[in-house]
Structure 1
């Protein structure tokens, strides 16, 4: 489905986020470090709704060169929403306020010890994106219709885990969890489905 980047689409996505019921906080491992990412919605080159996806800088200590949603670790005393908005500013020069937030999806626990909260935000004016080269190698606008294709995602088994690895097929690239899992749940929420992704696995190279 093609969604113009306009007030009607913003309202529809806000309603989908409001209908999504997050998993409760209780029962989540206390040892995990809190982190947040932004599902930042903006206009594609065709004027339709897209989200921002980055490739991490090659100089980063962890997960260098991988596809990722903008985000990072929560600072002490910082909420996931505050962290997601701060990271958007630090990584992309995109300054948004609380009124840009449309909702949150389920937390996702990573093999590397983080509990990631996805925050959906409406980036009404993203023409001035300036990627921070210390953190971001490149930034891409992924139209929502690309994640709604039937062949956009697949699930494969690996010998190291009883959980299925999720993969998002983007052009010639395979994007894995946690990023793929978070994008998949957002896709499902757009369709009015509360699909859980906490049991979807990451590839072994992302376990560290």
Structure 2
């Protein structure tokens, strides 16, 4: 069983984590939201999306809500804005628990993962005291709550002829989630669940995600 997570325990774990930024001015800054939400039974889950099939880039892929950082905008503000735009979930600044390492993608971005505490949420049937999820159907095909027990799993590492770096795959829901999403979730698992400062910036994406 994975350790029990609380808002306070995650905030403390991230406060003690020396995150690493990536200085790549040639790449566009982006942010993703690692959103912790409470299910109906109070269990903590991480919200993961499946991108809509008709999007111009990375259609149908597993993703964390996120996108480009606007001029004058911080990564936490961008993550909260994208979360509101994609899932209709509006969170205050106080919901930000911390940040993980930056990850430079093959498609031209430096992603900053921002960890947020959403508390109780509901999709479909409303629950008293729960924030509703309203996915933007033009961007999001489906939203999944990944229980910590499923997230607390060892990744698979593959070698490919196109790169010297290992490709990471995270087995989730009977599928395999690749970097950058798989790398971010793996580092969150290591830092927040086990207190290990595991680095993932060197892990490779599959070739299909290089575009």
Q: Give the CA RMSD over aligned residues.
A: 1.4
CA distance in 1, matches of 2:54, 2:98: 32
CA distance in structure 1 between the aligned counterparts of 2:86 and 2:21, rounded to whole angstroms: 29
User: Judging changes above 3 Å, is the alpha-carbon distance between structure 1 residues 129 and 3 closer, same or farther for their aligned structure 2 residues?
Assistant: farther
How high is the TM-score relative to the length of structure 2?
0.91
Is the counterpart of residue 205 in structure 1 residue 183 in structure 2? no
Gapped regions of structure 1 (runs ≥ 5): none
Question: Partners of 2:196 and 2:117 in 1: how far apart?
Answer: 21
The answer on whether the counterparts of 2:45 and 2:145 sit within 8 Å (CA) in structure 1 is yes
Please state if 1:99 is matched with 2:91. no
| Cα shift at 1:69 | 0.5
SS of equivalent residue, structure 2 residue 119: coil
Contact map agreement 2:21 2:102 (CA 8 A) in 1: no
TM-score by length of structure 1 reads 0.92
- How far has the Cα of 1:45 moved from its partner? 4.8
2:47 corresponds to which residue?
52
User: Alignment partner of 2:121: what SS?
Assistant: coil
Structure 2: which 5+ residue stretches go unaligned?
123-131
Question: Aligned runs of 1:54-93 on 2, under 5 Å?
Answer: 54-93=49-88
Contact kept, 8 Å, 1:166 with 1:200, in 2: the verdict is: yes
**Which residue of 100, 110, 120 corresponds with 1:115?**
110
Q: Who is 2:20 aligned against? A: 23
Shift of 1:87: 0.5
Question: How has the CA–CA distance of structure 1 residues 124 and 45 changed in structure 2, closer, same or farther, with 3 Å as cutoff?
Answer: closer
CA distance in 2, matches of 1:159, 1:85: 38
Q: 1:47 to 1:3 in 2, by over 3 A?
A: farther
Query: How many residues are matched?
Result: 201
Structure 1 residue 130 corresponds to structure 2 residue 134: yes
Aligned position for 2:157: 155
| Distance (Å, rounded) in 2 between the aligned partners of 1:73 and 1:89 | 14
Report the alpha carbon displacement of residue 3 of structure 1 after superposing the two structures with TM: 5.6
Between the aligned partners of 2:196 and 2:49, the Cα distance in structure 1 is: 26
Give the Cα separation in 1 of the matches to 2:196 and 2:56: 36
> How far 1:59 moved relative to its partner?
1.7
Give structure 1 regions of 4+ aligned residues with deviation exceeding 3 angstroms: 1-5
**How far apart in 2 are the matches of 1:46 and 1:200?**
35
- Report if aligned partners of 1:54, 1:68 keep a CA contact under 8 Å in 2: yes
